[in-house]
Homo-oligomer: A and B are copies of this chain.
Amino acid sequence: MIEQKGILFILSGPSGVGKGTVRKALFEKDTSLQYSISMTTRDKRPGEVEGVDYFYRTKEEFEEMINKGQLLEYAKYVNNYYGTPRQYVEETLEQGKDVFLEIEVQGALQVRENFPEGVFIFLCPPSLDELKNRIINRGTETEQSVMNRLRAAKDEIELMDAYDYVVVNDYIDNAVDKIQAIVASEHCKRERVASEYKKLLEVTQL
């Protein structure tokens, strides 16, 4: 039996493409992945649990972690920090578990800088027309803001060159199947398997 470290998979893509929906459908089918737990400075809400929903830290603690490079990525929303702690990811990978991170494009680019050995998957809409329909169907945006979001999406799609894989989100089940195929095939990559396999051979006497 070949022992292997886990792999960090990062799912990203333009806003509106359906990252969250695909991630939920994936986790319903696949229980071998560990969802990456974020760190935040916002207050813990009733029912939330440290280390399950988030790791909760003070603003000072969070900023110290930023300065020490202990976050794979972070961002500030509405005066609170949110980020991905490196230590949690690395410990989970060491246990042989894959970690799965679903994140906005800007965050994914930070992770790419800080953890280039991750596997980066870009989820994209079948077409911009389809993305337009999805944003309009949410019903929360003016015509002008729909156009702004589409232009932003087009810019974000240009960033796909920083990714290892592109999955077109035509149907959720298709996208989930493809992501599962990527996870399985990455574990067969020769770079990951060969050295452990050769160790296994060395102990065999002929």
**Number of residues in A with C-beta < 8 Å to the partner?**
42
In this assembly, does A150 line the interface, its C-beta being within 8 Å of a C-beta of chain B? yes
In this assembly, does A178 line the interface, its C-beta being within 8 Å of a C-beta of chain B? yes
Contact of A128 among B158, B160, B201 (CB under 8 A): B201
Contacts of A128 in B (CB 8 A): 201, 204, 206
Interchain CB contact under 8 A, A206 and B147? yes
Contacts of A167 in B (CB 8 A): 188
In this assembly, does A144 line the interface, its C-beta being within 8 Å of a C-beta of chain B? no
Copies of this chain, complex-wide, total 2
Distance from A157 Cβ to chain B, minimum over Cβ atoms (Å): 6
In this assembly, does A190 line the interface, its C-beta being within 8 Å of a C-beta of chain B? yes
Contact of A168 among B2, B121, B182, B206 (CB under 8 A): B2
Contacts of A198 in B (CB 8 A): 157-158
Contacts of A124 in B (CB 8 A): 197
In this assembly, does A52 line the interface, its C-beta being within 8 Å of a C-beta of chain B? no
| A164 to B186 Cα, complex, angstroms | 10
Distance from A201 Cβ to chain B, minimum over Cβ atoms (Å): 6
Interchain CB contact under 8 A, B197 and A188? no
In order of increasing CB-CB distance, the 5 nearest A-B pairs are A181-B184, A185-B185, A166-B193, A128-B204, A181-B181
Taking A166-B190, A166-B194 as given, write out 14 further A-B residue pairs in contact, using a Cβ cutoff of 8 Å, ordered by the A residue number: A122-B190, A127-B200, A129-B204, A147-B206, A150-B206, A154-B201, A157-B197, A160-B194, A165-B185, A165-B189, A178-B188, A181-B182, A181-B185, A181-B188
